[in-house]
Structure 1
């Protein structure tokens, strides 16, 4: 990987990491406060319409954003066509959601969902006017501004949510404050770059982007349907409280991989697009990204699974005790998320949206079969089914990366296995040492400290290439910042 590309990639990851670190620290505090103030049924009510909102979101983008990022010689008409398409599609689906809200409320037997869905539909429409600005920042690799804006808006909304929860607004405390986002983001985008795409539209550009984006649309629909089908099934078959326990466990279990995806994902895709014609550099970039994300994700997921009981009991109280076992199981269902996302990015970068689509169909059909088989056995068995489905999906991605990039199985796995064994041994050490500790508070503190120390020490002793790479890149970035400050 060239120095220039490496600097761009790491600079983007650096600013995204700062954003995610600050956001996750704040989100953890916010989540703890809200979990103490709100009930599991409140969280369940909010999760019930997630399936329908997510499906609408897929149609709204239709793969046009990815197509625009991937295109090399972009013109103003490309931006305006994507903008007009996004706004029009959002308007249509916002109206459709409002019209269907009584049916969705009847499906769950929760009348309050009518107002919740209509409010979220209006929010969806308002946010559509800003998606093109965010895409433009991604294309320009202006990750510093992108991440700064997200920190400002998310913290502002989070504080407002907490205030509303204290005022006894219940589930609405997590709905109304979100309307701050489009107005605040609009102001920040305009102050940073007073640019507007205009309302020009070209059918030629639309057909070009749709030719690529349509396959991504179908693929994203399949992925989104499956990713949100569990809340749909749990909300229908079980109570709102059960859905609250499941959704809270799922949100915590996916937090490590989601954090790394939001750090690496926005940087990885445009970087790999820029070197898509150079097979050797693309392989090197992909291997490095996979190795780094797994090195950082695995210990967080294993640590969370081992410390799930003290984590829940100390931070969000025994009110959420039923979520502990779901959290422990779902951690291992989310373990390979970052790897799978990067693999799918490669298919898009290579222009193989057809393969992307076929793989998603096969993987999700298999996952649906596992879901249908597990439903009669209860919610816990459904969670174990997710673990099986996740591992099968990972194996399929490894197989087709070999075909697309020409990388053998061992060439792919050798970058992952060291981090896997580091994390597994760390989890075993922490688990057995905590058997002698009774207090939940001490278990959480001691377990965290032992896990962090063990992981860094074993990385140093075995001379982990990822650990060395991160130290070197971080040192280089700090030196650059210090030089600029002088």
Structure 2
């Protein structure tokens, strides 16, 4: 029975990885095309607007959906009540955003900001539906449906964004892309997901959801503010162009990391929540997720840092070359994100959301101090990014201590789980970086770096018989056997 459950959990992880990889591939291609068509100023405007949208979005998405996933037992009234709470809050936040849009525009002295805020703010209302849909899918472990909805939304929104950029719509191409993505994703998930809002709600259920959800909300709010305050300060002090270089430098490492991270979060919380009373099983699952997450992420992040200069010059063109240092810094900053994310979900799963909140406070107080010092004393956007590394160190220390105390996940075990992937990736990254000095055309150099990086990493993992490599290989072979068996049975039945 346990093997069947474990298989279901990691099957869910496979589908969620597939969803994130598909979204990442499409978004990367779309982002590259749009970066070549639009200017840093266009991206600077949308970056400022997205700070306010994201902050409001935290209230809509972060507490209610996670509370549903974490609960041991849920019924129709739980989903309906959470949806109603989320929807009403999204309406309130949208009207607040609509009213304050001219004030924000005057503060940044950008005439386009108010209208962009008011249109893009409609995402909040759509997201209020989507967040409970996602909670239902997570709860029922039907992760294949995420893949379907995300694929439709990402592809269609990318086509619309590129078309409008070619037609000269500027920042509105980005607005259309963001808004269409969320809307189509929600519509498709409504069709295939199997859950729709009903009339049965409960005040008692609302109190239960609020009791857990407000702690998660506060945690996510602190997390979001810590990142987005930097963008607000950079946009005001250094201007939209500098903000665009900073955000582009952060964007591509974040595409790699957040997609993998989101996959882990979607599958890990419901999986761990079911084992919250069995510490041994919880710890075992946590360690496996960290090992696999680091094995997948490390070569991508370190490899991307090694090819950053070639990537920008070849793919984004020289007008974005100022983003290269930011790409390298954020690759290093995001390197350990699977560890932080997995430990975060484990602590949530045992019901200690307040502990996560205080950890986030410590992390982002460090980050805020670094941001203010870098901006107003050092007067450097680059130092703002560098101080993000300091907050990563604080994050690791806090989560390592928290899991040691609450789950008995010891430091020597933690190091055992992360050092192999980091070591192999660093060796690969050094070789790839120096390969970038080869006297060939930029396109050839970039392709050589990517090919060599993949071969070196996979080869070293195979030779060293890395545990995660063997596990992934076993899962792939098992999947092939299952598919082959089904095919043979189908042929016999015909």
Q: TM-score range by the shorter chain?
A: over 0.9
Query: For residue 158 of structure 2, what is the aligned residue in structure 1?
Result: 158
Is the aligned partner of 1:297 residue 2:297?
yes
Higher deviation after alignment, 206-215 or 37-46: 206-215
* Deviation at residue 123 of structure 1 after TM alignment: 2.5
Superposed CA deviations along residues 357-413 of structure 1, whole A, max 9, x for unmatched, are 111112211221122222232011111111121122112111111011011101111
Is the aligned partner of 1:401 residue 2:403?
yes
- The 1:42–1:287 alpha-carbon spacing in structure 2 relative to 1, beyond 3 Å, is same
Higher deviation after alignment, 15-24 or 348-357: 15-24
Query: For residue 29 of structure 1, what is the aligned residue in structure 2?
Result: 29
Query: How far apart are the structure 2 equivalents of 1:295 and 1:235?
Result: 36
Q: Secondary structure at the match of 1:383?
A: helix
* Deviation at residue 450 of structure 1 after TM alignment: 1.1
Query: For residue 264 of structure 2, what is the aligned residue in structure 1?
Result: 264
- The 1:325–1:438 alpha-carbon spacing in structure 2 relative to 1, beyond 3 Å, is farther
Query: For residue 380 of structure 1, what is the aligned residue in structure 2?
Result: 382
- The 1:194–1:352 alpha-carbon spacing in structure 2 relative to 1, beyond 3 Å, is closer
* Deviation at residue 119 of structure 1 after TM alignment: 0.6
On the 8 A contact 2:97/2:121 being kept in 1, the answer is: yes
Q: Secondary structure at the match of 2:437?
A: helix
TM alignment of 1:228-267, pairs within 5 A: 228-267=228-267
Higher deviation after alignment, 465-474 or 174-183: 174-183
TM alignment of 1:216-227, pairs within 5 A: 216-227=216-227
Aligned length: 486
Gaps of 5+ in 2: none
- The 1:62–1:455 alpha-carbon spacing in structure 2 relative to 1, beyond 3 Å, is closer
Query: How far apart are the structure 2 equivalents of 1:315 and 1:136?
Result: 39
Superposed CA deviations along residues 263-319 of structure 1, whole A, max 9, x for unmatched, are 222111111111111111111100000011011111111111110000000001001
Q: Secondary structure at the match of 1:142?
A: coil
On the 8 A contact 1:336/1:391 being kept in 2, the answer is: no
Query: How far apart are the structure 2 equivalents of 1:443 and 1:151?
Result: 31
Query: For residue 425 of structure 1, what is the aligned residue in structure 2?
Result: 427
Query: For residue 456 of structure 2, what is the aligned residue in structure 1?
Result: 454
Q: Secondary structure at the match of 2:436?
A: helix
- The 1:199–1:113 alpha-carbon spacing in structure 2 relative to 1, beyond 3 Å, is farther
* Deviation at residue 484 of structure 1 after TM alignment: 2.8
Is the aligned partner of 1:346 residue 2:346?
yes
* Deviation at residue 186 of structure 1 after TM alignment: 4.9
Query: How far apart are the structure 2 equivalents of 1:264 and 1:371?
Result: 29
Is the aligned partner of 1:441 residue 2:438?
no
Superposed CA deviations along residues 8-30 of structure 1, whole A, max 9, x for unmatched, are 12211222222222222222221
Higher deviation after alignment, 199-208 or 299-308: 199-208
Superposed CA deviations along residues 50-96 of structure 1, whole A, max 9, x for unmatched, are 22212211222351211111112212111111010000000000000
Is the aligned partner of 1:205 residue 2:205?
yes
- The 1:183–1:328 alpha-carbon spacing in structure 2 relative to 1, beyond 3 Å, is closer
Gaps of 5+ in 1: none
Query: For residue 10 of structure 2, what is the aligned residue in structure 1?
Result: 10
Is the aligned partner of 1:63 residue 2:74?
no
Q: Secondary structure at the match of 1:435?
A: coil
TM-score (norm 2): 0.95
Please list every run of at least 4 consecutive aligned residues from structure 1 whose deviation after the TM superposition is greater than 6 angstroms.
Answer: none
- The 1:183–1:359 alpha-carbon spacing in structure 2 relative to 1, beyond 3 Å, is closer
Query: How far apart are the structure 1 equivalents of 2:46 and 2:179?
Result: 16
Query: For residue 281 of structure 2, what is the aligned residue in structure 1?
Result: 281
* Deviation at residue 185 of structure 1 after TM alignment: 3.9
On the 8 A contact 1:90/1:128 being kept in 2, the answer is: yes
On the 8 A contact 2:312/2:324 being kept in 1, the answer is: yes
Superposed CA deviations along residues 334-365 of structure 1, whole A, max 9, x for unmatched, are 11222111111111001001211111112211
* Deviation at residue 262 of structure 1 after TM alignment: 2.5
Question: What RMSD in Å do the two structures reach over aligned CA positions?
Answer: 1.6
On the 8 A contact 1:83/1:199 being kept in 2, the answer is: no
Query: For residue 111 of structure 2, what is the aligned residue in structure 1?
Result: 111
Query: How far apart are the structure 2 equivalents of 1:336 and 1:195?
Result: 35
On the 8 A contact 1:10/1:473 being kept in 2, the answer is: no
Q: Secondary structure at the match of 1:19?
A: helix
